Amino acid sequence: MALFPSAPQPPPATLDEALQRIAALEAENSVLYQLLDAVPSMILYKGPRSRLRYANTALRTFYGLTDEQMVHVLDAPLDPAEKYVQDDEFVFSSGEKLFSSGELFIRSDGTVELFNTVKSPIYAPDGSIIGTVGVFENATREQDMASQLSANEARFQRLMANIPGMVYQYVQHPDQSAAFLYVSDGSRELYGLEPAAVEADAQALLEAIHSADRPAFQQSLAHSAATLTAWVWEGRSQTAQGTHWVQAQA
């Protein structure tokens, strides 16, 4: 039986023609099954009333279903969670795709994993909707990475908050323009500037340097860039709270 119905054809004239059509259809299905089974995402095809019609290897492996067990599941009247029935019915009746993110699924070994899913309608040649196909992308690794990055960022910010002075990442481009890629909270005390303001406009920090010390500041930066040596500068910053002596190095 075909996975998805094909366009109607006139009845075969002979038994040989019928057998040839069956053989051609089986060959097409074999290729289609191999393509779907090669996809790492889980794929699930359902017919009317949420009846399961097909599940690819990725899905069968996730739930620990053998091919033999799958035969007994196919075409069986399932009793899935009400939400999934409602989702299937929405796609079936509206013809619209349905996207979901952060859905939890339990692997056969009890492991809980996070998936992003999209369900789409399947159309017959006459334009009627005959089923839905769901594609499930495992987002567990991405979620774990995002959580780890968030935790690392939090630790970094706590560390920076306890370091005296201003910690920064500065870059000077070939066209002599410059930018601060990162500025710690110390910019408030030393230069009277919010970190975000310095990151948005490096010129803001230059303007906070005492006017008498700006030439030496710029010369020291140019010398460091030209010789690829460490940058060291000492001078004054001018803020609303007064003048501060600053020693900087990078």
Per-residue pLDDT tens over the stretch 120-137: 999 988 889 998 999 999
Let me know whether 139 and 57 are in one domain.
yes
> What phi, psi does 180 have (nearest 5°)?
-100, 115
Q: How far is residue 223's CA from residue 18's CA, in Å, rounded to a whole number? A: 85
pLDDT of residue 6: 55
**Mean pLDDT of all residues belonging to the chain:** 81
Instruction: Find the CATH number of the domain harbouring 99.
Output: 3.30.450.20
Domain final residue, candidates 82, 110, 143: 143
pLDDT of residue 244: 85
Which of 3, 1, 2 shows the shortest CA–CA distance to 133?
Answer: 3
As beta bridge partners, residue 112 has 106
Let me know whether 232 and 163 are in one domain.
yes
Number of domains in the chain: 2
Let me know whether 170 and 114 are in one domain.
no
Query: What is the pTM for the complete model shown?
Result: 0.51
> Residue 213: helix, strand or coil by DSSP?
coil
| Cα pseudo-dihedral 33, 35, 37, 43, rounded to 10 | -90
Q: Which domain holds residue 213?
A: 157-249
pLDDT of residue 121: 93
Give domain status of residue 114, yes or no: yes
Side chain identity, residue 13 = A
pLDDT of residue 79: 46
pLDDT tens-digit profile of 14-31? 666 566 666 666 666 677
pLDDT tens-digit profile of 193-234? 998 999 999 888 888 899 998 999 888 888 888 888 888 889
